[in-house]
Amino acid sequence: MYSSVSSFSRVCARLHRAHSNSSSSNLLSYQTLGAACPDKASAGATLPTVGLHGWLDNSSTFLPLSSHVPMYAPDFPGHGKSFHFTDHTNLITSYLLPTLNFANHVLDETASEKINLVGHSMGSTVALLLAATYPELVSKLVLIEGLGPLTKPTSSLISTLRSHTDTFSSPPPPKKIYPTIDACLKARMRTAELSPGSQYITLRTCGNLIARSTEAVEGGVTFTHDQRLKHPSHMYLTESQCLKVLESVTCPVLIVKAKEGWPEPSKEVVQKRLEALQTNVEDFRTVEVDGSHHCHSDEDGCDQVGKAIVEFFR
């Protein structure tokens, strides 16, 4: 019935993808950026690449990078043009299932067996979760400005639950209305400037993100992201759980760090995470580039990030 073990495995993989896709009727909204298309992947020229964006960003964060690395870029739930979660817990693992469904969609569309993953910030954590949980789907993994999730000690559990419950029990505040798109741009740029360290975000990056995350309303313009994204999670992974995720990654990994990016945790935490990630990874690379947290999109770092990824994917 089957000509080889590999053909049987391909059939099993298709059945698994069909089952996974049937578990959620909502496919993430996405963009096909650069020259990413089924013809290239199915012809065997390259594996399809999926780009996962950061918190409060959207798939347009990868527009500049796609000139180097064509990709399929989804909007996470509550971001961009994707659906919002009905019950939002802000738990990072909530993004795993919709991302798995999207990955399976790309695999089916391109008749491919695996994908390459590029994750930025929060997207790098989701990429790690997918690569660790479903290693058979991921060929190579790029982590831009991210080395695992925000963690909290077990001792913080009760106070975290209290904070989450108190926040979600109150109605969300009304959306802020800005008089113009320019006002939205300035607000988004201020957000980066107020973040830890010496961060910034350029006008080009802001323009790309704003175009996919705002809408005209009476009185001006407002952001479309889920307001609850800014609420505290009801639970966070512990550092030991984070290390377990990192230890479970088996594919080649490239870490991209910006010179003026998001401040890292303590040196001890970073060292332990790096060691954990290398437990079962033979091809492990790191590169430092110019720029800030959005180095993959801002003008000063984008080309450096793109060239590093192209070399890594060879």
> Which percentage of the chain shows pLDDT scores above 90?
75
| Amino acid in the structure at residue 226 | D
What are the tens digits of pLDDT across the range 75-106?
Answer: 999 999 999 988 767 789 999 999 999 999 99
| Amino acid in the structure at residue 149 | P
What are the tens digits of pLDDT across the range 56-66?
Answer: 999 999 999 99
Residue 214 has phi, psi (to 5 degrees) of -135, 160
Name the CATH superfamily, with its identifier, for domain 15-153+239-313.
Alpha/Beta hydrolase fold, catalytic domain (3.40.50.1820)
Q: What's the chain's average pLDDT?
A: 88
| Average pLDDT score over residue span 139-145 | 98
Task: Find the range with the poorest average confidence among 83-97, 121-135, 240-254.
Answer: 83-97
CB atoms within 10 A of CB 263: 11
Kindly tell me if the per-residue pLDDT of 8 is higher than 50.
no
Residue 83 has phi, psi (to 5 degrees) of -65, 160
| Average pLDDT score over residue span 165-171 | 87
Q: Between 6 and 296, where is the model more confident?
A: 296
pLDDT of residue 28: 95
pLDDT of residue 205: 96
Task: Find the range with the poorest average confidence among 4-18, 62-76, 116-130, 277-291.
Answer: 4-18
Give 194's pLDDT tier (boundaries 50, 70, 90): confident
| Average pLDDT score over residue span 210-235 | 93
Give 48's pLDDT tier (boundaries 50, 70, 90): very high
Spatial distance between the Cα atoms of 6 and 171, rounded to a whole number of angstroms: 53
| Average pLDDT score over residue span 169-196 | 91
Kindly tell me if the per-residue pLDDT of 37 is higher than 90.
no
What one-character-per-residue DSSP string does 205-256 give?
HHHHHHHTTEEEETTEEEE-S-GGGGSPPS----HHHHHHHHHT--S-EEEE
pLDDT of residue 10: 42
Residues of the chain with CATH 3.40.50.1820: 15-153+239-313
Q: Do 49 and 115 meet the contact criterion of CB atoms below 8 Å apart?
A: yes
pLDDT of residue 18: 39
| Average pLDDT score over residue span 47-70 | 96
Spatial distance between the Cα atoms of 106 and 283, rounded to a whole number of angstroms: 25
Is residue 83 classed as helix, strand or coil in its secondary structure? coil
Kindly tell me if the per-residue pLDDT of 14 is higher than 90.
no
